[in-house]
């Protein structure tokens, strides 16, 4: 039997728990249970499914301190961020999908051909294999479990190997809320377990939040193991476009929050600031001051804004981008002494558009700033990456926002803000940021498929190759 996996607190480097990984046989058993539970759960009324989700949301609220404790210990995110921000948002998501489950109705299409009546109905895709990331373990689990279950699917979820406990506890609470046994379960482990789940012949759909590289591997793997529906929310490289008429202080504050939230470990994080040349120096100075004001420290200190990065290896990776850059480090960029894997908010200027720091996903609190001239160049530079998840633009000119916003090739474009989300609004990207939507009714549609029921009730008047005589 393999040794249990050691979970480590990134704020201290100390062991917090040991967990046993699942085996391939465990994955087979979980998928078999999900397949067995599918007819009953898919056949439940929307109201019955909604009732379970609403009870689940209530139980998460009741266990908020416990769930926050598990996640803070494994991720190092500030306690207040988790307890008072992300958990309420997660339960809001669940309650939204509980309501949306009751509006996922088929369409009575009527008589599309003489002698026939057609009904267009939506039915659950089937068993879903969900792969959740380490940066937002519980919230991302909710983003997968809630819409899939609302649509009538059953789910086997694999949380990231180093951050499994909040998801495991959330699944326990789902069963306590009345979900049928087997309709949702969690399996644990690394690539072997993930591959066993994503390549399983009885899994009808894969839902992944992770890196673009992981998405490519899943695409390749599923291509040789049957045809599966895929939902891939992958990497990002969000631009922040600051025009000369913008409120520079507000733009700097928004970019700072966007770049440092969750220590920059966010696929929608602000990573590239493009400032119109007339205000470029002012933007650089405002960013320098704003980033220096971010308090990095103990996740349990209420004054802390951001905690550590997830691991020593990840911090080394983030710092490597800064060490290799040919640009000028305006602030930050120095690995602090002491325990934990902390990294300071960092600003780099003097870069070219094709520099590594501008093109590649860093996944840490590092912000690049570059100048531009005019709308056309701003649009060209913002779009000139392989990702397309999120972007923001800053201007007082409403007409400009309406002109430029639609030209940005990103799934979400915010104006005069960065990072706001709502349960009712879809989240997902273009290009190599993947396809498919989280949140909103769009997510519910991801986990359902349209079925055409065509009933013959009279002899057709016209016969052709598409209608039987």
Signed CA dihedral, 347, 349, 352, 355: sign only: negative
Cα pseudo-dihedral 76, 78, 83, 89, rounded to 10: -90
| DSSP reduced 3-state for 62 | helix
94: left (phi over 0), alpha (psi -120 to 50) or beta: alpha
Catalytic residue among 71, 74, 86, 233: 233
Residue recorded with tokens 């607190």? 9
CA diameter of the chain: 84
The DSSP code sequence of 384-414 is: -SSEESEEEEE-S-HHHHHHHGGGS-SSEEE
Continuous segment of H or E residues that includes residue 148: helix 137-150
Structure tokens at 327: 């640009």
Signed CA dihedral, 200, 191, 173, 101: sign only: negative
Q: Is 323 a catalytic residue?
A: no
Catalytic residue among 71, 86, 267, 446: 267
CB-based contacts of 47, cutoff 8 Å, min separation 6? 102
The C-alpha atoms of residue 402 and residue 418 are separated, in whole angstroms, by: 17
The DSSP code sequence of 262-326 is: GGG--TT-EEEEEEEGGGHHHHHHHHHHHHHTPPB--TTSTT-SB---S-HHHHHHHHHHHHH-S
The C-alpha atoms of residue 67 and residue 172 are separated, in whole angstroms, by: 12
Q: Report phi then psi at 311, rounded to 5.
A: -160, 165
Q: 270-276 and 366-372 as β-strands: parallel, antiparallel, unpaired?
A: parallel
Per-residue buried b or exposed e for 5-15, using 16+ beta carbons within 10 Å of the residue's own CB: bebbbbbbeee
Q: Is 172 a catalytic residue?
A: no
CA distances to 287, 382, 455 from 393, in Å: 16, 10, 52
Structure tokens at 369: 């700033």
The C-alpha atoms of residue 98 and residue 284 are separated, in whole angstroms, by: 45
User: Which residue numbers are catalytic?
Assistant: 233, 267
């Amino acid at each position: 039997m393999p040794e249990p996996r050691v979970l480590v607190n990134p704020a201290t480097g100390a062991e917090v728990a040991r967990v046993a990984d699942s085996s391939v046989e465990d994955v087979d058993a979980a998928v078999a249970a999900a397949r067995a539970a599918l007819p009953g759960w898919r056949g439940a009324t929307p109201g019955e499914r909604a009732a379970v989700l609403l009870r689940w949301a209530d139980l998460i609220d009741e266990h908020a301190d416990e769930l926050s404790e598990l996640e803070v210990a494994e991720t190092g995110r500030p306690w207040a961020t988790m307890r008072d921000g992300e958990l309420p948002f997660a339960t809001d998501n669940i309650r939204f999908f509980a309501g949306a489950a009751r509006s996922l109705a088929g369409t009575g299409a009527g008589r599309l051909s003489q002698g026939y009546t057609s009904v267009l109905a939506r039915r659950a895709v089937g068993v879903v294999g969900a792969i959740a990331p380490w940066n937002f373990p519980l919230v991302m689990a909710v983003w997968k479990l809630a819409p899939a279950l609302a649509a009538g699917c059953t789910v086997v979820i694999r949380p990231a190997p180093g951050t499994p406990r909040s998801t495991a506890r959330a699944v326990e609470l789902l069963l306590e809320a009345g979900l049928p046994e087997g309709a949702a379960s969690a399996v644990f482990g690394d690539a072997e377990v993930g591959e066993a789940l994503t390549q399983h012949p009885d899994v009808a759909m894969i839902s992944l939040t992770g890196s673009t590289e992981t998405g490519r591997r899943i695409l390749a793997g599923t291509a040789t193991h049957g045809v599966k529906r895929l939902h891939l929310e992958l990497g990002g490289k969000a631009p922040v476009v600051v025009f000369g008429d913008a409120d520079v202080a507000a733009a700097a504050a928004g970019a700072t929050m966007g770049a440092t939230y969750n220590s920059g470990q966010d696929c929608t994080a602000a990573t590239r600031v493009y400032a119109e040349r007339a205000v470029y120096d002012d933007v650089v100075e405002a960013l320098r001051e704003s980033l220096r004001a971010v308090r990095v420290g103990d996740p349990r200190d209420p004054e802390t804004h951001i905690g550590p990065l997830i691991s020593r290896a990840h911090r080394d990776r983030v710092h490597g981008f800064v060490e290799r850059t040919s640009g000028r480090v305006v602030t930050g960029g120095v690995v602090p002494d002491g325990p934990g894997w902390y990294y300071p908010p960092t600003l780099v200027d003097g870069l070219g558009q094709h520099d590594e720091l501008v093109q590649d996903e860093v996944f840490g609190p590092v912000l690049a700033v570059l100048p531009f001239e005019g709308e056309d160049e701003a649009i060209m530079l913002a779009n000139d990456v392989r990702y397309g998840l999120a972007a923001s633009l800053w201007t007082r000119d409403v007409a400009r926002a309406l002109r430029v916003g639609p030209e940005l090739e990103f799934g979400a474009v915010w104006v005069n803000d960065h990072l706001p989300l709502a349960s009712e609004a879809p989240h997902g990207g273009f290009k190599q940021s993947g396809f498919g939507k989280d949140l909103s009714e769009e997510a519910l549609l991801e986990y359902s498929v349209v079925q055409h029921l065509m009933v013959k009730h009279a002899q057709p008047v016209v016969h052709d190759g598409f209608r039987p005589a």
